[in-house]
Amino acid sequence: MALEDRLRSDVAEFERDLVELRHRLHRRPEIGLKLPETQRAVLDALAGLPLEISTGSSCSSVTAVLRGTAGTAEAGSDGGPRPAVLLRGDMDALPVQEATGVEFASTIEGAMHACGHDLHTAMLAGAARLLSAHRDALAGDVVFMFQPGEEGWDGAGHMLAEGVLDAAGPRVQRAYGVHVLAGKLPRHQFTTRPGTLMAASDELKVTVRGAGGHGSAPHRAKDPVSVAAEMITALQAMVTRQFDIFDPVVITVGSFHAGTRRNIIPGEAVFEATVRSFSRAARDRVQVASVRLCEAIAAAHGLEAEARYNTEYPVTVNDAAQAAFATGVVADVFGEDRFTPMPNPEAGAEDFSRVLEEVPGCYLFLGASPDDDYAAAEDNHSPYAAFDDAVLTDGCLLHANLAIRALQDLTTN
């Protein structure tokens, strides 16, 4: 039986285990960097496999290394150490109250796996199990990166600081990840693109300080509300007049706080915005331009503004050669009809970007909507977001094949 057939047969035998793991995680979602129950579930799923397992000190991460046994040479094609590749799955949930009504719905108030990270974790655990049974197909080593804290906690940064890229000894030479989509893409369909895949995500927080007074006599006060409102409008004009429409910037103000009553001019107004950009150059420019604009508007009205720009996740950039490689793997394993070219980047952000800044690799999306009318389905992060268990074997097989073929490529080329 050919290797691909054996992989499919094996994963079919433990598909039920993948579903049970996903449901276990879904019922008990955890948020942030400390995920003790989730970590325990992963360790239970990996128990008994020939893996070198370590856990994080700054977060509830799990790193597992599988040593391949293909071939007899201990070195790669260049005479150096055997190659290693990394596969990543994020594990954390969101502060969302689930409203799906599924049998395995969250039992934790105010927490939900609304972004599909429970599927990512089950897929990666399945890939570890599958590859452990086929170590003789691995011409090198595989690092499994089970990461907490993707949803705004920079879990990838924590794991990089603790050495996940060097867990196998030599630094990994390729890195891959898969993210499910509740909408936007038909079930079982894969997509990705070379170059920019997802936006950078940063925070702009502006505090406007004036002088309070009575609403009937604004000339005797210094109204920070009207000045902050002008800033918000001016920021929208800025992105259309100072930035290339083919290298866009998106600024969305999601929080505005000022005052206590309608007839009282407050002394302070505060707003916060998320800033999305799709290139390093645009990101650098918007950081300077947004702060300068807010400070200048405040000065023009005789007020003061403290504008703080906090960088968060960088642009997620797929290596062009690795995007082509991953696309080819999808076509070989699942058929060319299972891949849909991705014309434009997503404005969402992802801390796997930190890994791809260090290592050539590719991040892919997988359609997971249980609804045949996927375009009308609720998107990720919705309290109604739903994902089909049927895609778990897809993700597991793709992870395994990416690792096997990438190691073959690194060893022979």
Q: How confident is the model over 153-211, as pLDDT tens digits?
A: 999 999 999 999 999 999 999 999 999 999 889 999 999 999 999 999 999 999 999 99
Q: What is the pLDDT of residue 79?
A: 55
How many folded domains does the chain comprise? 2
- Residue 5's pLDDT band (boundaries 50, 70, 90)? confident
Q: What is the pLDDT of residue 80?
A: 63
Q: Is the dihedral of CA 238, 296, 201, 328 positive or negative?
A: positive
Decide if 290 contacts 211 (C-beta within 8 A). no
Give yes or no: residues 338 and 380 share one domain: yes
Q: What is the pLDDT of residue 293?
A: 98
Decide if 265 contacts 214 (C-beta within 8 A). yes
Question: Could you list the residue range(s) of the whole structural domain that residue 260 is in?
Answer: 200-313
Q: What is the pLDDT of residue 73?
A: 39
pLDDT surpassing 50 at residue 255: yes
- Residue 72's pLDDT band (boundaries 50, 70, 90)? very low
Q: What is the pLDDT of residue 11?
A: 86
Task: Round the average pLDDT of the chain to a whole number and report it.
Answer: 94
Q: What is the pLDDT of residue 1?
A: 59
Please report, rounded to a whole number, the percentage of residues in the chain having pLDDT higher than 90.
90
Give yes or no: residues 253 and 322 share one domain: no
Give yes or no: residues 284 and 379 share one domain: no
Q: Is the dihedral of CA 283, 288, 292, 294 positive or negative?
A: positive
Give yes or no: residues 295 and 387 share one domain: no
Give yes or no: residues 183 and 243 share one domain: no
Q: What is the pLDDT of residue 70?
A: 87
Strand runs labelled E in 289-406? 304-313, 316-318, 361-367
Give yes or no: residues 143 and 29 share one domain: yes
Give yes or no: residues 68 and 108 share one domain: yes
For range 236-262, the mean pLDDT:
95
pLDDT surpassing 80 at residue 81: no
Q: What CATH number has the domain bearing residue 239?
A: 3.30.70.360
| DSSP one-letter code for 81 | B
pLDDT surpassing 90 at residue 3: no
For range 376-394, the mean pLDDT:
93
Give yes or no: residues 57 and 38 share one domain: yes
For range 344-362, the mean pLDDT:
95
Which of 271, 289, 313 represents a domain boundary (last residue)?
313
Give yes or no: residues 180 and 223 share one domain: no
Please report, rounded to a whole number, the percentage of residues in the chain having pLDDT higher than 70.
98
The model carries a pTM of 0.91
Tokens at residue 249, please? 């910037």
Which of 313, 332, 366 represents a domain boundary (last residue)?
313
Cα end-to-end span (Å), the chain:
27
Q: What is the pLDDT of residue 78?
A: 52
pLDDT surpassing 60 at residue 75: no
Decide if 159 contacts 104 (C-beta within 8 A). no
- Nearest Cα to 65, choosing from 80, 54, 76, 81? 54
Q: What CATH number has the domain bearing residue 38?
A: 3.40.630.10
Lowest mean pLDDT among 69-78, 115-124, 133-142: 69-78
- Nearest Cα to 388, choosing from 227, 188, 236, 199? 188
- Nearest Cα to 356, choosing from 179, 148, 191, 172? 172
pLDDT surpassing 70 at residue 31: yes
Give yes or no: residues 106 and 238 share one domain: no
Give yes or no: residues 400 and 284 share one domain: no
CA–CA distance, 410 with 76 (Å, rounded to integer) = 8
Q: Is the dihedral of CA 183, 184, 188, 194 positive or negative?
A: negative
Tokens at residue 237, please? 């004009």
- Residue 372's pLDDT band (boundaries 50, 70, 90)? confident
pLDDT surpassing 90 at residue 290: yes
Which of 266, 285, 313 represents a domain boundary (last residue)?
313
Conformation bin of residue 113: beta by default, left when phi > 0, alpha when psi is -120 to 50: beta
For range 23-32, the mean pLDDT:
97
- Residue 342's pLDDT band (boundaries 50, 70, 90)? very high
- Residue 14 to residues 74, 126, 133, 213, 218, Cα–Cα distance (Å): 32, 8, 12, 69, 70
Give yes or no: residues 93 and 116 share one domain: yes
pLDDT surpassing 90 at residue 361: yes
Q: How confident is the model over 256-287, as pLDDT tens digits?
A: 999 999 999 999 999 999 999 999 999 999 99
Q: What is the pLDDT of residue 74?
A: 46
